[in-house]
Amino acid sequence: MEFGRVESLWRYPVKSLIGESVDSFDIDCRGVSGDRLYAISNSDGKLGSGKDTRRFRRIDGLFSMSAETIDNGISITLPDKEVVTSNSPSINSRLSQILGQNVTLTKEDKISHFDDGAIHILTTASLSLLRKKLPHSGVEPRRFRPNIVVKSQFQDNELLGKVINIGTVSLEVTHKSERCRMITLGQPGLERSPEILKAISKDFGLDFGVYAKVISIGSVSIGDNVEVVQD
């Protein structure tokens, strides 16, 4: 069954920093190649995030920076528009200065940088439904940090439990994405919107979007068909 087409693709080279919109990406056994491969960790070794959990620590100011994938690493654009790379000797001192505490840019090792799933999928139908409820609240895909936005007439939760083909990749959609305060935070071009989390809690049971695991690796590009191949 044809479910829709890929409308946009997103990668987040550093966990909890603004990511990058791309035309295509590879998917390996881990997930989107290069996605959340790096994180900013505090002096206790906890990973910087917009929330506090067993693995993560809330660090304010992460959304003031953006990250892009480059050859042999990543680049980070700082609030003053200075660009530093992952191999720069000054990167940790600059990040610490901006965030007001001692932090380190760390590459993923044994502990996963993912919150709850490898690949996050949203559909335009789900976004449109939420946008109708909150027409003035900046309901844009990047607020929800998806990897794949599918242009579809169907809600994303209709993919639950299904195997889908996208490009040369097969994915199994496993569970819903439970939202947190991070979707309410302001970022460049989007104002802080606490009402978004309240609306999702009321109308969607706090879930918005779905997660998928990798069945077979390959590549995905904008415009690729999304097909349900197994219910």
220 CB-contact burial (10 Å; exposed 0-12 / middle 13-18 / buried 19+): buried
Q: In whole angstroms, what is the distance from residue 35 CA to residue 52 CA?
A: 21
Per-residue confidence (pLDDT) for residue 49, from 0 to 100:
87
Q: In whole angstroms, what is the distance from residue 50 CA to residue 229 CA?
A: 36
Neighbours of 137 (CB within 10 A): 18
Per the document, the length of the chain is 231
What's the DSSP call for residue 31? S
Cα torsion 199, 204, 208, 209 to 10°: value is -150
Q: In whole angstroms, what is the distance from residue 57 CA to residue 54 CA?
A: 8
| Series of mean pLDDT values for 10-residue runs along the chain (231 residues) | 97 97 97 96 89 84 96 95 95 97 93 88 97 88 97 97 98 96 89 93 94 98 95 69
Per-residue confidence (pLDDT) for residue 54, from 0 to 100:
78
Q: Please give the model's pTM, rounded to 2 decimal places.
A: 0.94
Kind and range of the H or E element at 181? none
CA angle 50, 54, 55 (to 5 degrees): 65
Task: Kindly report the CATH class assigned to 2-11+27-32+115-230.
Answer: mainly beta
Per-residue confidence (pLDDT) for residue 5, from 0 to 100:
99
Residue extents of the structural domains in the chain = 2-11+27-32+115-230, 38-107
- Give the burial string for 183-207 (b: 16+ CB within 10 Å, else e): bbbebeeeeebeebbebbeeebeee
Contact predicate 14/67, CB 8 Å: yes
89 CB-contact burial (10 Å; exposed 0-12 / middle 13-18 / buried 19+): exposed
Q: In whole angstroms, what is the distance from residue 91 CA to residue 62 CA?
A: 14
Please give the distance of CA 225 from its chain centroid, rounded to a whole number: 21
